[in-house]
Structures are given as structure tokens and as C-alpha cells.
Structure 1
Amino acid sequence: MSDVNLPPLPPTGGEIPGRSIVDVVAAQHRELLGLTERLTASPDDPAVASVLVATLSRHLCAEEQYLYPAVRTAVPGGEQIADRELAEDQAILERLRDLERTGDGRDDLAEAVRRHVAADAEELLPLLEQMVPSEDLVRLGNRFETAEEAAPTRPHPSTPSTPPWNKVVDPLVGVADKIRDVISSRATYVRDL
């Protein structure tokens, strides 16, 4: 049985479809790095800033809902790692809010994103991959992607960042954000650029 505290798998007799959370997060990190490069290369393009804010807001929300709780449960010393990552994510959300409000802080945000990606790639994801069975990594990946789609598209540093409350509040705030996005015709995905 898994140490990640997920409901049991249905008895299908086959492999679980989907990508592991490690693969999902790594792919999103590549996308985020590409967006930060575009942001610093074209600082006068508000659409790039808008897409980065939305993509990073969704990503951090999903990490808070599924990645960090898995790390807390399955990785020795996971409490400290997750707490450190949550503090760094909080700082990123505040930088995102500043970027969205004033357009300032692009370089600081880009550096914070690079640090976030490096910390996950060098420590957090390899530890998770070693400690959690591959079936559970795929299940977490599926849940991560679902949570990301329901997540807010704007930074909300004052909302809860740990379960269970973030799993309740984030989708509600996400609906409000998405309504605002539609009304304002705001770009929120890379495909919108």
C-alpha cells in the first residue's frame, strides 16, 4: 500500500493511464522557463506577462494541492522541504501580483522561477520518484493536471496553501478568475499567444 494517502485504485487489471506527477511537473517547468525567457525578451508584451501569471498561478496551486502533500507524506524530512517550497511559492505569488498590478519585477520573477524549477528538479522530484511507487506517481499526475485546470489564473497569496482548505477554496477562486478572464478577453494559455 502507498504512503501517499490516496484512495485505492479500482481493480482494472491493467496499467493506470496518464503521466507521472514528475513528468507533468517537469514539462510545466520547461513551459514556465520558456515563458520567463519570452517575458524578459519582450517586456512590452502584456500578453506574455498575462500568460505567465496565469500559467504560474495554476502550476503553484496544483503543487500546493498534490505535490507538497505527497512530499510531506512519502519523503523523509518532507515536512521541512514542503514548508520551504511553500514559503518560496508565497514569495513568487507576491511577485506575480506585483507584475500583474504594476508591470514591474520581471527580472526578479524570472530568477525566482528559475530557482523554483532548479529546486524541484534537483531535490524534490528525484526524492519523490525514489520514495513513491510509479502507480501512485501516475495517479498524482492525473490529479495534479485536474487541479491545475480548476485553479485560479491570478495570484492569490492570501488564500489557504495547504489541504484541505486549498482544495475547497482554489476551485471557487478559479471560477471567479476565469469569469474575469473571459470578460476581459485575457490570454491565459501559451496557445493564446
Structure 2
Amino acid sequence: MGTTDVLRSSIQHSQGRLSGRLAEARSMEASRDRPRDGHERIDAFLATTSMHLHAVDAVLLPPARRKLADGGPLVHDYLRSSKALEVELAHVKAHEYGSVYETSYGWLDVWSDVEVAMADHQRHEAVIGIRLSDTLPDDDLDVLARRLWAAELAAPSRPHPYTPHTGPFGVVARRVMHAVDRFWDTAEGRMVPEATPEPKKPPGRFAQYVMGDPRFDEESEAR
């Protein structure tokens, strides 16, 4: 049973980041001299949210299914919620670029549906994070948190609700869609934010010696 809060904290941080992106995208009024600003905020929200969803599929669902006593039902419920959010994200993209199938919707309805779907998804994601944190040892939780961050770097940047999400077919689908999405992001000039670099641990004493860069804590310096 884990004692560290690293995985839950990572999930909470990601959810807060995505909620912030959603708030920015909803306030998409752009000035006349910068008409693309609204699109950039929406693109950033779509990309970061899609990449996180794909990363959760790749990193958290396999151990949840294997290690948790009720992992099968938990993963099933999560996937239902995740796919529902992906469908709403696809509506946002279609609405943004003027699809004829979106003419009966207004932006207020679109964002309202996204907000509801995201809240439901975050509840299911939080449950998986809590259950894994209560079940796995600290070392495994630390590895999962690091893998979750790294997986976003190689995740598709667009929603794909109807491609496989789990198992070997899910792995292949994510790799293919990552390459396809990168091509179309470049071709369409979409704004895809770069992931925040993972914080590096401070070097140990031996590394400091090798680099010739000794560092002293405040207590030592006070003495």
C-alpha cells in the first residue's frame, strides 16, 4: 500500500491545467488585429486535453485493470466517460472550423457540453488515481507518475473516440495517430503547446564533486 501522494498530485495538477485551458478557450473573443488568438486558445485546449486522455489510456489503465480487484468495471466506466469527452472535443474542433453539421449548435451549448463531460471524466480519473495510490507501493506510484508525464509527449494531439484505447491495438493506434496528428497540425497551422519539462532532481554530492559545483544548504552556510 502506497504512502506517497505523487500520483494523485500529478492527476490533480493535470486536471487543474486542463480546466485552466478550458476557461481560456471559452473566453475566445479575439481582437481585430489578432483574429487568430481565439483559435490558438481553442487549439491549445484541444491538444493538451487530447494528449492527457491518450496518456491515461497508455499508462494508468493497464495497471488499474491488472492490480485492482474491481479493475475491469473501473476501466470500463472510465473509458465510457473518456470517449464521451472525446466526442465533445471533436464537436469543438468541428465547430471551430465551421463544419456544416454544427450549424444547429451555438458556442454556449458546445462549451456547456464539454464542461459536463470533463467534470464526469475527472471524477472517473480521480477514482482510478486514488485506488492505485491505495494499492501500489511507493516506487510503482512514482514510476507511474513519471510515465504519465512522458506519455503525453508522444500522445496524439487530437481526440480519437472511435479508435482502440486499450491493449495492443490501442498502442498501435496511438502511435499511428500521433504521426498523423503531427502532420495535420503542421499542415493546418494549429497551435500545440509544448509540454512543461519534468523538474530535475538536485544533483547528489558525488555529482556535485564531478561537476566541480558544490552546493550547501542554508544551515551549513549559516554556520
- TM-score, normalised by the number of residues in structure 2: 0.70
Superposition deviation, residue 153 in structure 1:
0.6
Please say if 1:69 is aligned against 2:55.
no
Which residue type is aligned with residue 125 of structure 2? D
| Counterpart residue number, 1:60 | 53
Picking from 138, 142, 149, the partner of 2:146 is: 142
Q: What value does the CA root-mean-square deviation take over the aligned residues?
A: 2.2
Q: CA deviation at 1:161?
A: 0.7
2-structure distance, mates of 1:75, 1:93 = 25
1:1-193 to 2 correspondences below 5 Å: 20-42=6-28, 45-103=38-96, 104=107, 105-121=110-126, 123-189=127-193
AA paired with 1:38? E
- Matched residues in 2 for 1:183 and 1:26: separation? 33
CA distance in 2, matches of 1:187, 1:59: 16
Q: Which has the higher contact order (CA 8 A, sep 6+)?
A: 1
What is the aligned residue count? Answer: 173
CA contact (8 A) 1:51 1:190 kept: no
Equivalent residue letter for 1:110: E
1:35/1:190 CA distance change after superposition, 3 Å: farther
Gaps of at least 5 residues in structure 2 are: 31-37, 97-106, 196-223
What is the match of residue 6 of structure 1? none
Give aligned-pair identity as a percent.
24
Question: CA shift at 1:41, angstroms?
Answer: 3.0
Q: Which has the larger radius of gyration?
A: 2
State the AA in 1 paired with 2:70: G
Describe the SS at the equivalent of 2:167: coil
